[in-house]
A and B are shown apart, each in its own frame.
Chain A
């Protein structure tokens, strides 16, 4: 079964450093997402991306975050200057369509990238 793959599985970085988390969405999918889960808290939406631009973002996704699809297969999340509170599991996800009530669209998630900021 096709799957979303993420790298690295775990990264430790110093506060203030830049981090890039990488994702390879499912090949025929057109919509891409990043979610995160801080330890002990809910999974939270960060951003959605379609047609090479952000279609929706949450309050969490401030100027220190950016997303990019540098080529036909990768989708990246960059954190410019990491803070301690950025420590979390970051999930990449993708879907064929964005949704709609009756579309039955499914969002597929990767296994996540653990980011630890020290």
Chain B
């Protein structure tokens, strides 16, 4: 069965500095991986997705993630944090061929001025 592990429950950065949110996955075959973001009192919004087309995936709001099979990782990065990036971020893997998603436990990102 597939699973994801987010290595940090909370990350704090200063505005303008890089963001790194770490995620490792476990899958018996090439996975479909996603990052979703949840702002306070908002729904889950898709940031980006990996589906075997390219290992470096670009998403919305300047975020990107790199799929590294050798490290079973799918870390989320952004070169320069903005205050509006403060939110909860979820690494997600699709289970099987259907629509069932398996969520990581989430990483709360704080951005200091």
A98 to B101, CA, bound (A): 11
Q: Which of B42, B97, B104 is close to A99, meaning CB atoms less than 8 Å apart?
A: B97
CB within 8 Å for A42 and B104 given contacts A48-B98, A98-B98, A112-B43: yes
Q: Is the CB of A106 within 8 A of B98?
A: no
Give the residues from 28 to 57 in chain A that come closer than 8 angstroms, CB to CB, to chain B: 31, 33, 35, 41-45, 48, 55-56
Closest Cβ of chain B: how far from A91's Cβ, in Å? Answer: 6
Cα A43 to Cα B105 in complex, Å, equals 8
Shortest CB–CB separation between residue A101 and chain B, in angstroms?
A: 6
- Which residues of A from 43 to 88 have beta carbons under 8 Å from B? 43-45, 48, 55-56
What DSSP secondary structure best describes chain B's contact surface? loop
Q: Which of B71-111 contact A (CB under 8 A)?
A: 90, 94-106
A98 with B105, Cβ < 8 A, contacts A43-B90, A91-B44, A111-B42 known: no
Please list the residues of chain A having a beta carbon within 8 angstroms of any beta carbon in chain B.
4, 31, 33, 35, 41-45, 48, 55-56, 91, 93, 95, 98-112
> Known pairs A102-B53, A106-B49, A107-B99. 15 more at Cβ < 8 A?
A4-B43, A33-B99, A41-B105, A42-B104, A45-B101, A56-B100, A98-B98, A99-B97, A101-B30, A101-B32, A101-B51, A104-B49, A104-B51, A109-B44, A111-B42
